Amino acid sequence: MNSYVLKLILYVSNFIAVLVSVPCHEFAHAFAAVKNGDDTPKYTGRYTLNPFAHFDLLGLVMMIVFRFGWAKPVMVNPSNFRNYKKGAIWVSIAGVLANLALAFLFCPVAMIVYNNLIANGFSSTDWTRYLKVFLWYICESMFYLNISLFVFNLLPFYPLDGFRLIDSLSTRRGGAYWFLYRYGRYCLLGIFLLSYIADRTGLYYINVIGVIRDIVAYPINAFWGLFI
């Protein structure tokens, strides 16, 4: 199969996965906020699955090319929550729970597509082989992208959801909290650089997100492997 066509299929597949996964993540934040009493996402146009309401252009490009990126944060007003702590916790974790649910649902789909369309290989005259690969890449991208979003956003660095969760649970904010707040962006930059170096050198174990992603993916694959 033509390697250039395969690369194009991969990028298009990633793009489709991003178009689905990121709006679901951001809408989940908005949904949690509204259900806890804050209608700010509705007023700011974020209570929607429309991808164009959520994307940041540079973050979108980064996500398609490197599978790491960002969207525009959903604006909420915690003072409107009926229960401040409960609302803050649910809004913090809603996005990553949506990603985990999508990954869990697309894992068996990817397995079924692979077993039925890919595993037996292709004949040289099979004109549908690119379509089969395209379908598999989409399912695989949906699985691994959502696992990556789950892992990445749970990192405890400001301004990610993991830090928001710590913030909502913290009653005493010591030095570690302020370090994560002040230097979180630099820590994330370091993680991005390690991922880039890992891709270029093959040093898999310095890719922090990749390693954790595979650890999280393993039990999901194992579970669905019992049935498929």
The residue from 26, 38, 140, 161 that is catalytic is 26
CA 168 to chain centre: 21
Q: What is the pLDDT of residues 72-108, one digit of tens each?
A: 999 999 999 999 999 999 999 999 999 999 999 999 9
Q: Tokens 């700011």 — which residue?
A: 44
Q: What is the pLDDT of residues 101-153, one digit of tens each?
A: 999 999 999 999 999 988 887 665 667 888 999 999 999 999 999 999 999 99
Residue 124 confidence (pLDDT): 57
How much is the pTM? 0.94
What tokens appear for 138 in the block? 């989409």
Helices (H), the chain: 3-35, 40-43, 57-66, 84-113, 129-153, 161-169, 175-201, 208-225
What tokens appear for 121 in the block? 């290989």
Residue 75 confidence (pLDDT): 96
Contact by Cβ (8 Å): 109, 90: no
Residue 67 confidence (pLDDT): 63
Contact by Cβ (8 Å): 29, 94: yes
Q: What is the pLDDT of residues 189-221, one digit of tens each?
A: 999 899 889 988 999 999 999 999 999 999 999
Active site residue 140: no
Residue 208 confidence (pLDDT): 93
Q: Tell me how far CA of residue 191 lies from CA of 98, 142, 185, in angstroms.
A: 23, 22, 10
Q: Tell me how far CA of residue 45 lies from CA of 59, 75, 92, in angstroms.
A: 19, 10, 19
